[in-house]
Structure 1
Amino acid sequence: SEALLIGLQDFEFAFSEDGEERRFYYHTQKTRELDNLLGDIYHKILDMERAIIRDLVCRVLQFLPQLTKAVNFAAELDCILSLAIVARQNNYVRPILTEDSILEIRNGRHALQEMTVDTFVPNDTKIRSAGRINIITGPNYSGKSIYIKQVALVVFLAHIGSFVPADSAVVGLTDSRIFCAMGSKSMTTEQSTFMIDLHQVGTMLRHATSRSLCLLDEFGKGTLTEDGIGLLGGTISHFANYDYPPKVLLSTHLTEIFTENYLPQQSEHIKCCTMSVLNPDGQASNEDIIFLYRLVPGQALLSFGLHCAQLAGVPSEVIQRAASVLEDIHSKRPVRRMICDNLAAKDKQYQDAMAKLLAFDPRKGDLNHFFEDVFPPEA
């Protein structure tokens, strides 16, 4: 305090620092003597530190080639040991690489997804000379994207020399092109998700070979439905016209491509699969749907989007309104106006007010009583 400093005549204020607690610094006769004797030693210490660091860097740089080799060796060893530990802990198997352009995976799993769930359902993959274009349909939340990514991870891990999450795997050598159009958005680019997808698919169509692996997840969903169907159908037809197409895994909800002439008729290159569900009543709005996460041959024409919305915690009034709109659309009738209790009460209030206004005679009635009747005071 100031009273304390008055009693310390030898203290001379130097400077203060602001922070959580404000600090004040003072000179005494002893510190002034040390300043006169040693000067500002802090900067001398900094100069000596810089000189030592420069000398150390120069000495280290003399052994740069040897150090670089040692660091690269340690990094490679760390990667190999990490892959070996994960393979042992999660029961991976050694894949068989072949020069044939095939892909056979028995009970394949997603390397990351299986670590986050209690039970992971594995799936088989078999791509040979026929059925190289796999069109995968199925409900939302049924595992289509996970399946596509798990196949890509198995192929990638096999090519870098790792064991793979499967019971067995025969992987044909894939060229350097594993094309992905997964609908991801990069915050560093100034393009929409759909434009990014178009660039990726364009590159895929121009450069894919018979040894490429092409992944398309929900391509065409980012634009008008008719445009998306046309782009998706054109992409599939392009691959189907190859004499020996690349290995293609494609998931979609645009099931209109099956009902119209969007796809080549009876092409041996196209194979349809779906993620199976257990739906006892066969209704899209059934609440007892069970996702089996198992890939089976066939096509799915229902997405069960309302059921997925319910699982995601969307408010019930929103789901009810969506179900009403879908029912009207499927019945080809005009969509009914949404009925809200609050809006209906307001409409009734306005109608009553208008009726009283038309019945009111200003020459005989009491205006104050009229307005109190029309707009009663709030409790």
Structure 2
Amino acid sequence: MGSKLMTAEQSTFMIDLHQVGMMLRQATSRSLCLLDEFGKGTLTEDGIGLLGGTINHFVACDDPPKVLVCTHLTELLDESCLPKSEKVRFYTMSVLRPENNSTDTEDLVFLYRLVPGHALLSYGLHCAMLAGVPEEVIKRAAYVLDAVQNCKHVERLSHENISAQDQLYKDAVEKMLSFDELKGDINLFFQDLLCSKS
């Protein structure tokens, strides 16, 4: 799953759909079916529906194949998406968190051990830090994440560079709106527009 063929004339998501479709049609009780992040290449709601439907298809089989699913779509934990079944078991990778339940991502230790249960957090900010994402990006991401989780308004960044760029865009739009396409000289218009941006 998830082959990244650059020469293919289909999107990665369409290739994934073809592979899963073939899996659903040809799997037997002796098959091992692997679904790795299936549904992540489209809208979240569509991905949840497609992955949930795929899992439900296998659960409904009298003699299903072995199926291993890896996903970050935690919405599938809701019984309305994936009804409880003795055929379905959840596992996660264990993480050592500080005893005080601190949210400081620097205190996390990934243990790389598969254990029963499911992850409630993705630790995406910690992974971003480990990957070398600049600190200001991680701080902004943490702010946005906190605001979204607490149903708060996300405040816009107010850097001088952004304000200056916004003003350039506004000026360009005003010039475009005031340009007379019947009487105006398009060459002079673009020269003026490009000179004002530099």
Same fold (TM > 0.5): yes
- Could you tell me how far apart the structure 2 residues matched to 1:316 and 1:345 are? 24
Tell me the number of residue pairs that the alignment of Structure 1 and Structure 2 aligns. Answer: 165
- Could you tell me how far apart the structure 1 residues matched to 2:96 and 2:73 are? 21
8 Å CA contact retained: 1:276, 1:291: yes
- Could you tell me how far apart the structure 2 residues matched to 1:276 and 1:341 are? 43
- Could you tell me how far apart the structure 2 residues matched to 1:341 and 1:188 are? 42
8 Å CA contact retained: 1:284, 1:302: no
Per-residue Cα deviation, 1:33-63 (whole angstroms, up to 9, x for no partner):
xxxxxxxxxxxxxxxxxxxxxxxxxxxxxxx
Q: TM-score, normalised by structure 2?
A: 0.78
Any residues of structure 2 matched to 1:47-62 within 5 Å, and which?
Answer: none
Instruction: Give 1:190's aligned residue.
Output: 9
Instruction: Give 1:306's aligned residue.
Output: 125
Secondary structure of the 1:271 match is coil
Instruction: Give 2:80's aligned residue.
Output: 261
8 Å CA contact retained: 2:105, 2:125: no
Alpha-carbon deviation of 1:279?
1.2
Instruction: Give 1:291's aligned residue.
Output: 110
Instruction: Give 2:94's aligned residue.
Output: 276
Per-residue Cα deviation, 1:195-252 (whole angstroms, up to 9, x for no partner):
1110010000111000001011111111111111111110110000011210111100
Per-residue Cα deviation, 1:128-168 (whole angstroms, up to 9, x for no partner):
xxxxxxxxxxxxxxxxxxxxxxxxxxxxxxxxxxxxxxxxx
1:206 to 25, 38, 53: 25
Alpha-carbon deviation of 1:188?
2.6
Q: TM-score, normalised by structure 1?
A: 0.41
- Could you tell me how far apart the structure 2 residues matched to 1:284 and 1:215 are? 33
Unaligned runs of 5+ in 2: 167-198
**What amino acid does structure 2 have at the position aligned with 1:188?**
T
- C-alpha change, 1:189 and 1:298, in structure 2 (3 Å) is same
Q: Say what the alpha-carbon RMSD is for the aligned residues.
A: 2.0
- Could you tell me how far apart the structure 2 residues matched to 1:190 and 1:200 are? 15
Any residues of structure 2 matched to 1:20-39 within 5 Å, and which?
Answer: none
User: Moved runs in structure 1, 4+ residues, more than 3 A?
Assistant: 281-285, 341-347
Any residues of structure 2 matched to 1:61-210 within 5 Å, and which?
Answer: 182-210=1-29
Q: Aligned residues: percent identity?
A: 68
Alpha-carbon deviation of 1:295?
0.3
Which of 1 and 2 has greater Rg?
Answer: 1
- C-alpha change, 1:194 and 1:343, in structure 2 (3 Å) is closer
Alpha-carbon deviation of 1:284?
5.2
8 Å CA contact retained: 1:285, 1:304: no
- Could you tell me how far apart the structure 2 residues matched to 1:187 and 1:224 are? 22
Secondary structure of the 2:52 match is helix
